[in-house]
Structure 1
């Protein structure tokens, strides 16, 4: 029987179902990165050959490409610039070669998969659950309507499976915006009323955002984790089907050695061209790449931060993240916590698996290139922090490879830019710098830059083939799946989508190259990116803001174009994709960020053509609850809703009284300002956003605000 129900038995109705259950503490010690824990580690049979194929195959391809590039550049001997170009080419080709062999692993997995990994058989009846699982929905200044609509859709889908008794739901708010905070509380109370889930839907807001999302989840573990066998971590835009949730919860029960199971979230809900490009690419190419990862990762898979179920014991005992030494942006708490948590859980002897073939896991993507750049800036800083985690004692080599790929996903951008500039300088040198026929040191022949243009063309063709073949492989596999083919609108329509996505993504690639390079340089210079909430709806951006943000990209494109033109017309044509993408950066960003309504002629995905019921329900609830409208002013809302005000007071820690050790300056300053404020409007003008939130969390300041509001 539910422990919460046992606790509240016999109480008066007004006292039943508080915002949180009784505490069930679970110790979560901070892990040492310098000491190797005692663990058991086994490598399942077959993975050695698979890993040799993926890693060794990438190495073999890289060696062949490196030799061919050497022959291209070594005509007349290697100059310093040519040596730099060669070294960068080897590193970057290894990156795309690794992606290619991983995709080939995905082909093998999709063609030859047999059995039911982790006992998850999608054709079998749903398993009976005997253990309790908590669904955690962390949120930070997000639209409450969207968050609670998605959570209700997931709740109802689980309820339809008949397994709702095995789950509790926690909204874990780190919201700092006072108006959003009160809207969250109102949405929480309304969600309980709509679902009748008073005994299993809970809400908690932290006044201090210690360690961001990792700290948010960690605080829940140390306070409530002992009550639950597992926790299913969601994101603010996550929606999951009951079938998917119950099956991974059952797999966690049947496999006591497993610490984490990661699903493959499918991107949905795109309203802009940019978002639909991500949807299409993720839906068509994503499963192939994810199947490849699962094929050779095995029990050393990764964690993407959400839509994954985690054994609470494994997380608590292994994933307490330390603070890194030094100052921001490299020091402090670990921003990209998910990769590190997976590595530490595996280090502790628990298996980490990925199940990309299990349907029913969904998320949303950034609506514009500007929003992607903002998110990438934060991820970039977090991934570069992984350089300090790499030397940790006891990590599995595959876990270290995850960390390296996370770093490489951003470091490769400035490397591409440097190689581009070095290649351009090499061409300038060959065009305008005469060879030195009389070097200061003895030499039999003069040395000057020269290349083999025919072989260079073949190297370019081979590189592009390695880069684009995974897309064609994914498209080919889709053609042999009748259901998937119908979902993408047929083979020809899907092919047109592939061509459109490749063209637009090709134009956007140099823009992201420069943006990510700028982010890396800023982080290396010591600039912290902060923590900004994500936009998930309309991606439209102001023209002035876009010009300021992307004008440097345009200027760089013009400069590259003029330099290439000055050298030779063939070089200009060769560099046209990069030059065109940079010169068109501003119109490209604005064009792809505009909301588009109706069914797209291109870029159709199965979830758009035939939305799963859980997504349809989430969209219906979003519309019913107010769509994408903003939130009301917090104090006015509390003053006009006595029940909400009563609930708000009850949910405050210590009922709004200062607890020992709380020396928050915002609380004291808010009290002083409100004491001096002659009117409600003056009070709102005097309070900063942080002070307003602090005032709503303080009993005396709240009383003063309400009194001023009534007098207005």
Structure 2
């Protein structure tokens, strides 16, 4: 086959003299049946391998329940006394109910953080466990990817593999990059990054890559495809997200923990946010590092072995996943029916139903992730998460679930319903204030009463309740701050006592201003979903670039308008009401500048230079982060990111051959079934006289078809570069 190449030396992703190593190992299939939701019997629960090691944290659960109930009881009683002066009207009952619902959410978090504070008091929030002398199991490190920057994700996996090899445990781990990428150029860039990374790592590290032609069932289907095809070769799989990073020490510690606990189905770590520089991302990074350990320790203690799974930075027993976590589609159409979006909660619940333990080891040091760089980015991610969590309403009645698994579903559901409940509570309060000031009250109703029905509030008690609510809301952050300040090395690496205190104040103030904006964003998502509007699945933006100001104005203009209207309304009713609502009003009025600053790189870096919002991992950068950055830089320098898929294959014969070898066998096409994109792609390639013409004519869908089809690839390979055909005719 004649292929034209450029005068420049092509990228030799696969040297011609080196035999091509298959991109995938031999398949070891495992069955993964879809689990029934409406039928279940106790005989389907596996017997415990180590009953003595299965302890239910009864005392901590009683503490959480008692503190939550007592706090809610006191809060509800005080709120009733606020509104009951002169009798309780319908609007006041509505306000009371909404307050109790929202206050219960706050009280549970408060009670859980008390348990976490007790568990960590006098101890370092993070620790590096001892390495085991050896491992007997095999673990697959699995990273699903979807239209991500190849150098970033492949560099991270390469760094983890290098670190594990350095520690001497390389034979126990294989690495799978499982692509569901739909952009044809990104797909070919992934293949190039894969071949380059293989060459960098050497033959003793088993690195594999698979691209699916159709991303059936999205991430859940991607993992299911791995388990059903290769799962039989592995005891465990460690699931990464595209922004995940873990030290080799943490990975080995998780594998050892799995080996030592034959009843463990899922062991989750606490991923800390690192590598972030925008203001919003640095706020999240600081909160994750300072407050996160106490919150995670609390839920770890009282959840015990009935915990949850967050979809990444966790190790899973392949047997438990295969036999218990097969997901059915929900009846009906999206957004509530069809594919289960927030699959990780459901997988954890089904694995626990099967009799496997699901728990967290939050103190393992070396588990990291990244976060969205701006307020708009987190809102876009939350839209998908909102649909996935509200979808869990259909799963609350699943037979056989542990009560805490149902609690996890309810927790996720309410994390989004809390926003509209808060909004309704504010509107209800405005309506009551409006009624009291502008509508003539019915002092004597049709019902017999010795006293008139005065529409009044106990203002002093209301102010006290507001203060108590804010204290309970902020308490988990204060607990985390105390633990962080008590840890000498962490305190010094985080800028010292006073800088950490100032940083915490900045985080609390900024979070308070952002909260009403997120309330409206999440409320809008809830209402859209209730109206039947399903979401798509777009890749998450992970860089630190700012969003255009025009987009920010478009996204937040109605939030600002609502803030203006609320301020004017409150001032017309009573200046004291405007003062009481000032945190909410201020956040809405500042929505546009807040959103702009949230994604502004310079603002975040300026605080970093002042030593504010600093975390220990910035002062002492984890070696794995440096290794990942360097590995990614090498891949990017070798051309793994900016790739035109057609040109890359056309110009490099070795890469062309490697790509063909990585393609799966062509599916049998039914006779008479005409694929329009394939026909059009073939016609355009046959008509084109140069590669440049083909590139300009082919649509993205047609490019994808060409890259999957060996016959069309052959047509592509025969095309000369631009200008060659004309020169030959001359």
- The reply to whether TM is greater than 0.5 is yes
- For residue 625 of structure 1, what is the aligned residue in structure 2? 635
Contact between 1:127 and 1:250, CA under 8 Å: does it hold in 2? no
Query: Residues 69-80 of structure 1: matches in 2 within 5 Å?
Result: 69-80=79-90
Q: Which residue of the partner structure matches residue 143 of structure 2? A: 137
Q: CA deviation at 1:700?
A: 2.3
Between the two proteins, the alignment pairs up a number of residues equal to 695
Contact 2:161 2:205 (8 Å CA) reproduced:
no
Q: Which runs of 5+ in 1 are unaligned?
A: 1-11, 115-119
Alignment counterpart, residue 17 of structure 1, candidates 21, 24, 29: 21
Query: 1:430-441 maps to which residues of 2 (within 5 A)?
Result: 430-441=436-447
Aligned to 1:3: none
Displacement of 1:681: 4.9
**Aligned pair partner of 2:396 in 387, 390, 397:** 390
Structure 2 counterpart of 1:188: 194
In 1, Cα distance between the equivalents of 2:564 and 2:211? Answer: 49
How many Å apart are 1:694 and its aligned residue? 2.0
* Compared CA separation, residues 588 and 121, structure 1 to 2 (3 A): closer
Following TM superposition, by how much is the alpha carbon of 1:626 offset from its aligned partner in structure 2, in angstroms?
2.9
Q: Deviations over 1:233-286 (max 9, x none)?
A: 001111111111111101111211111110111101102111111000000000
Task: Give how far 1:666 is off.
Answer: 3.9
By how many angstroms is 1:45 displaced?
A: 4.1
Aligned counterpart, 2:659: 648
- 319, 343, 346: which is aligned to 2:349? 343
CA deviation map 1:185-217 (0-9, x unaligned): 000000000000466100000011111101000
- Hey, what does 1:612 align to over in structure 2? 622
Q: Say which of 416, 425, 431 aligns to 1:425.
A: 431
- How has the CA–CA distance of structure 1 residues 322 and 432 changed in structure 2, closer, same or farther, with 3 Å as cutoff? same
User: Among 671, 687, 699, which residue is 1:688 paired with?
Assistant: 699
Q: Post-superposition shift, 1:676?
A: 5.2
Distance 1:199 1:593 in 2: 38
1:112–1:294 distance in 2 versus 1, CA, 3 Å: farther
Determine whether 1:321 maps to 2:327. yes
Matched, 1:59 2:63: no
Of residues 571, 588, 610, the one that matches 2:594 is 588
| CA 1:430–1:218: 2 relative to 1, 3 Å | same
Unpaired runs of at least 5, structure 2: 1-15, 724-730
- 247-256 vs 338-347, which moves further: 247-256
* Alpha-carbon distance between aligned partners in 2 of 1:14 and 1:610, rounded to the nearest angstrom: 40
CA distance in structure 2 between the partners assigned to 1:44 and 1:50 by the alignment: 15
SS at match of 1:138: strand
1:604 Cα deviation from its structure 2 partner: 0.2
**CA deviation string 1:420-446 (max 9, x = no partner):** 111111111111011114534444333
In the alignment, the residues of structure 2 paired with residue 414 and residue 129 of structure 1 have an alpha-carbon distance, to the nearest angstrom, of 50
- 1: CA distance between counterparts of 2:479 and 2:553? 38
Alignment partner, residue 526 of structure 1: 532
Please say if residues 271 and 537 of structure 1, whose CA atoms lie closer than 8 Å, have aligned partners that are also in contact: no
> 2-side partners of 1:430 and 1:308: how far apart?
54
Q: Which residue in 2 is equivalent to 1:9?
A: none
Contact 1:368–1:539 at 8 Å: present in 2 too?
no
Helix, strand or coil at the partner of 2:368: strand
Query: How far 1:68 moved relative to its partner?
Result: 0.4
Q: 1:148 to 1:159 in 2, by over 3 A?
A: same
| Further displaced range: 683-692 or 30-39 | 683-692
Selected match of 1:282 from 285, 288, 297: 288
Q: Is the 8 A contact 1:657 1:699 kept in 2?
A: no
Q: CA RMSD in A?
A: 2.2
Distance change (3 Å), C-alpha of 1:219 and 1:238: same
- Name the TM-score, length of structure 1 as normaliser: 0.94
Residue aligning to 1:473: 479
Deviation sequence 1:339-394 (CA, Å, 0-9, x none): 11011100000011100001011110000001000100000000111111111011
Q: 1:634 to 1:709 in 2, by over 3 A?
A: farther
Q: Report the counterpart of residue 671 of structure 1 in structure 2.
A: 682
Q: How many angstroms does 1:710 deviate by?
A: 2.9
- Relative to structure 1, the CA distance from residue 333 to residue 706 in structure 2 (aligned partners, 3 Å threshold; closer, same or farther) is same
* CA distance in structure 1 between the aligned counterparts of 2:65 and 2:596, rounded to whole angstroms: 40
Shift of 1:683: 4.0
CA positional deviation for 1:669: 4.4
Question: Residue 5 of structure 1 corresponds to which residue in structure 2?
Answer: none
Mean CA deviation greater in 190-199 or 502-511 = 190-199
- Is 1:192–1:198's contact at 8 Å kept on the other side of the alignment? no
Alpha-carbon offset, residue 108 of structure 1: 1.6
Query: What residue is the counterpart of 1:454 in the other structure?
Result: 460
CA distance in 1, matches of 2:375, 2:194: 33
Higher relative contact order (CA 8 A, sep 6+): 2
Are residues 575 and 17 of structure 1, via their aligned partners in 2, closer, same or farther at CA, if it must alter by over 3 Å? Answer: same
Displacement, 1:449?
2.0
Partner of 2:6 in structure 1? none
Say if 1:551 and 1:707 are closer, same or farther in 2 by CA, change over 3 A: farther
What secondary structure, in the 3-state scheme, does the structure 2 residue paired with 1:168 have?
strand
Secondary structure at the aligned position of 2:333 is classed as: coil
| Counterparts of 2:706 and 2:308, CA distance in 1 | 41
**Corresponding residue for residue 308 of structure 1:** 314
1:384-408 Cα offsets, whole Å, 9 max, x none, are 1111111101100111111110111
Contact 2:379–2:518 at 8 Å: present in 1 too?
A: yes
Alpha-carbon separation, structure 2, partners of 1:364 and 1:121: 20
After the TM superposition, which of the residue ranges 222-231 and 680-689 deviates more from structure 2? 680-689
Which of the numbers 211, 220, 240 marks the counterpart of 1:205?
211
The answer for the alignment partner of 1:508 in structure 2 is 514
Asked if 2 retains the 8 angstrom alpha-carbon contact of 1:635 and 1:706, the reply is: no
> How far did 1:124 drift?
3.2
Q: Which whole-Å CA distance do the structure 2 matches of 1:333 and 1:378 have between them?
A: 12
Higher mean alpha-carbon deviation, 479-488 vs 153-162, is at 479-488
